Amino acid sequence: MNKSKLSIAFLAAMCGLKPALAAPVLLAIGTLNASGGDLSAATAAPLENGAAGNLLGGIGSGLAWAGGNTFIATPDRGPNATNWNAALDNTTSYISRFQTLQLGLVKNNSGTGLGWTMTPTLSATTLMYSATPLAYAAGAAPALNSADRYYFSGRSDNFDPTQSSTNPNNARLDPEGVRVSKDGKSIFVSDEYGPYVYQIDRATGQRIRSYALPANLAVTKLSAQGDTEISGNTVGRVANKGMEGLAITPDGKTLVGIMQAPLEQDAAKNARIVTIDIATGATREYAYMLTSGSGVSEIVALNDHQFLVDERDGKGLGDGSKAAVKQIFKIDLTGAQDVTALSGDLSAKAVAKSLVLDVVAVLGANGITPAQVPAKIEGLAFGADVVDNGVLLHTLYVANDNDFVRSSAGDNKFYVFGISDADLSKVGATYTAQQFGADVPEPASIALVFAGLGMLTVRVRRQR
């Protein structure tokens, strides 16, 4: 047990906290004000489809805790809901970026509404780039490019047609998963175009490492049109359904990515999980069996071998329909078989799964109808623990991707659920919080250190 968790557990015991009821609860809902764009004024010029280049949206594609009340969010490849060029799937030169948010919870003592409140604020926008040249289509390179900054963008034709889709020199990037490194100085981003997994400097946005993913995830016949790419390949990821989710183990040593849908060579319902040793780059693959949803949107670590997986349909707000499946399952990689060399039907090799949270049901119990539940529930991140009504809860932040279309998909929202150890024990799971940076002594420990120094000083004086 880490120091921070030990302290909270100790305080909980001292305060006589009640044992938690085994049912995740909705603590708060926050809405990000999207007026005025994001904080990258340099990208404000209109895109090819007329949308502002700094349009704020899509933030729930990926969500990561960075400690305290700070979170990192990744919008995906940008606004492409407006028809302007079907040959490019209406994608634009929107520069890939990540947003830094403050998502602090405050206890609601008003007696009405949910038990906690949250007002999300945007504190920084950081553009992602390579220090070395990237492959762009003619006329598609971002105007902000310079001799040492080559920005990634959402344009689907920004690739080298002579290489496979995982070529790290391609400029196209569709960020979907994000996690923060243990030292807090960089982030890891997974995408759907490659798929790629990049390490990005958090302060500057520069790519500092590209991880080599297994060859069986790549496609060799690339196209700016997703449907054409799908029809032209029999092996590799399906277009727009690449590495949708990314986790990092609490010790900061392993990345765990998950594909949104089965690979071309695999049977229906068989999605793949890919583990990456951060230090060595070594990878393994495991099978995940879709049961209720049509795809997977996210994965987040409970500990070094257990994870939560967001399985969903595409129904709800933004689709003009009623949400049915937004379910979060617990899986365990302990003893799972490496399926890297296998293909076809992987069902018998799939990791076991148990339902932890039915988002539609819990939101429904709080007056949110299925038609109001966002179609694209995609971001998951644990935050700081809280005590609610005498119960210690782990906070799970759930975010939506509104595809930059507020008019039909609504605002970017953040739903915060409280999950107790009793909830997790029902499915045989435990939780370990991610640690950032060097261990900092608890206040009580600091007091003991100073007390010890004081006694040492007195002893030295007496000896003199």
Query: Would you state the torsion angle of the CA atoms of residues 167, 171, 176, 177, taken in this order, to the nearest 10 degrees?
Result: 60
Closest CA to 291 of 343, 328, 265: 328
* pLDDT of res. 366: 97
What tokens does 142 get? 């971002």
* Cα radius of gyration (the chain): 23
Our count of domains for the chain comes to: 1
* pLDDT of res. 196: 98
How far, in Å, CA of 209 to CA of 132, rounded?
Answer: 12
How far, in Å, CA of 258 to CA of 5, rounded?
Answer: 28
SS3 442: coil
| Full residue range of the structural domain in which residue 168 is found | 3-463
**Which amino acid is located at 170 in the chain?**
N
Query: What is the 3-class SS of 261-291, one letter each residue?
Result: CCCCCECCCEEEEEEEECCCCCEEEEEEECC
How far, in Å, CA of 66 to CA of 46, rounded?
Answer: 32
* pLDDT of res. 35: 83
Closest CA to 24 of 418, 385, 415, 367: 418
* pLDDT of res. 8: 45
Omega prior to 250 cis, within 30 of 0: no
In whole angstroms, how far apart are CA 181 and each of 76, 78, 204, 389?
20, 25, 15, 33
* pLDDT of res. 375: 97
Angle at 276 between CA 270 and CA 278, to 5 degrees: 160
The tens-digit pLDDT sequence of the chain (464 residues) is 444 444 444 444 433 444 444 589 999 999 998 888 999 999 999 999 999 999 999 999 999 999 999 999 999 999 999 999 999 999 999 999 999 999 999 999 999 999 999 999 999 999 999 999 999 999 999 999 999 999 999 999 999 999 999 999 999 999 999 999 999 999 999 999 999 999 999 999 999 999 999 999 999 999 999 999 999 999 999 999 999 999 999 999 999 999 999 999 999 999 999 999 999 999 999 999 999 999 999 999 999 999 999 999 999 999 999 999 999 999 999 999 999 999 999 999 999 999 999 999 999 999 999 999 999 999 999 999 999 999 999 999 999 999 999 999 999 999 999 999 999 999 999 999 998 874 333 333 333 333 343 433 334 344 43
Q: Residue holding tokens 């129904």? A: 315
* pLDDT of res. 22: 55
Distance of CA 409 to the CA centre of its chain: 19
What tokens does 371 get? 């038609």
